[in-house]
Amino acid sequence: MSGRRIRKSVKAALTGLVSEVEVAAVSNAYAQYMTTREEYLAQNYEGASTHFGPNQLAAVQQELNRVAASIANPSIPLALGPLPRTFDRTQLATVQTGVVQDTYPLGISFGSVRTDVQKSYTIRSSVKASFVGGHPKNRLQLVASFCDAEKFDAATGTYKTFLTDAHWDVRFRWTRLGVTESNSECEWVLRSGSPVSVPGTYRLRHRGFSKPLIGDIKAYEGVSASFTVV
């Protein structure tokens, strides 16, 4: 709807010079979402991600109309306006430290299950399992998914990836235990009415990387016990 309103107002400002106005998708990047005032007031995801408030669309229309009017009539001046400040990356400072070391409790290792799943779950409940983990900052770019829900395929006798943590219902939570230990929790929320909340046999899988004090960062993974959704 915002795009329709922009096209309509810009076309009017161009006073018949064009028959169609197009909005390029990348033009929205500076302000994140571009909702209408009505959509903003509903405060769904898009409204909450509209950076400059309920009048953002009106402000953009105002400036685009001003430029369009000057295009239609070059005698209308365009003030340059303030220039953006030069962004110098050399002046940036960070208080983030790198991962020094990951450790695990005596007798177990990375990927070991701390708290396992129950045997069965019903819709409107949450499946949770926690694992001995490493810091999620370890080679973050190589982790496609920290938590997967895998479904048992009776035809092949194997488990196959059913959901990754890219799905709305699958959550990954990391907490530091003490100084160098980590707890990695995987949760699958079985929402009522969700197309993926279906009966079957499943298990949760956690993946990550661990960093020793000396040596290379290594991949690990852990798997919960199986459970049924009824």
Contact 193, 168 (CB under 8 A): no
Annotated binding site: 33
Q: How many residues does the chain have?
A: 230
* Six-digit token string for 114: 């701390």
The tens place of each residue's pLDDT in the chain, 230 residues long, gives 999 999 999 999 999 899 999 988 665 567 888 899 999 998 888 888 899 999 999 999 999 999 999 999 999 998 888 888 888 878 788 887 889 999 999 999 999 999 999 999 999 999 999 999 999 999 887 888 999 999 999 999 999 999 999 999 999 999 999 999 999 999 999 999 999 999 999 999 999 999 999 999 999 999 999 999 99
Give domain limits for the chain.
Answer: 2-91, 113-229
What distance in Å separates the CA atoms of residue 171 and residue 191, rounded to the nearest whole number? 13
Q: How far apart are CA 77 and CA 187, in angstroms?
A: 58
Q: How far apart are CA 164 and CA 55, in angstroms?
A: 37
pTM score: 0.64
Residue numbering of the annotated binding site for Zn(2+)? 33
Structure tokens belonging to residue 45 = 């995801």
pLDDT value at position 29?
Answer: 66
Phi-psi region of 124 (alpha: psi -120 to 50; beta: other; left: phi over 0): left
Backbone φ and ψ for 222, nearest 5 degrees, come out as -145, 155
Please state which architecture CATH assigns to domain 113-229: Sandwich (2.60)
With a CB cutoff of 8 Å and minimum separation 6, the contacts of 129 are 113, 115, 116, 117, 185, 186, 204, 206, 224
Of residues 81, 63, 78, 80, the one with CA closest to residue 13: 63
3-class secondary structure for 3-24? HHHHHHHHHHHCCCCCCCCCCC
- Yes or no: say if 132 and 104 are a contact pair by the CB < 8 Å rule: yes
- Rounded to whole angstroms, the Cα distance separating 59 from 81 reads 15
